[in-house]
Amino acid sequence: MTLLSIAPLGVLILFSNEWSQLRTVYFLSHYGLWLQLSITAMTGFSVNIAMIYLIKYTSSLTHGIAVVSKSLVIAILFNNLLSTMNLVGILISLAAFVYYIPILKQNGEVFIRK
């Protein structure tokens, strides 16, 4: 959660009279919950930092292809259903990127900028 979402959520909790019920939730004091939340937060932060460095040292096109590839890998790993239109769009993006690599090499451009 960000600060922009925590502030309105706090106001909603106060006005809905759920504050007293929030203190009685049994899993808030459980060690595993906070460990899992911490690991999730660190993983999300690491992914954002990796994407920043990806854009810094390559191009926005490479970032776009990485996002498309990530969505395909997530769909395969977690057995998510993709609509036909989503699958066709992902395959067209990946095919265009594979076609674009020889053009980059032909023009003498490098993948990693310094």
The Cβ-side half-sphere exposure at 9, using a 13 Å CA radius, reads 7
What's the token pair of residue 76? 């395969």
pLDDT tens-digit series, residues 15-46 = 887 777 777 777 777 878 888 989 999 998 99
Give the pLDDT confidence of 84-101 residue by residue, as tens digits. Answer: 998 898 889 888 888 887
pLDDT at 84: 92
Give the global pTM: 0.54
Rounded to whole angstroms, how far apart are CA atoms 91 and 100?
Answer: 14
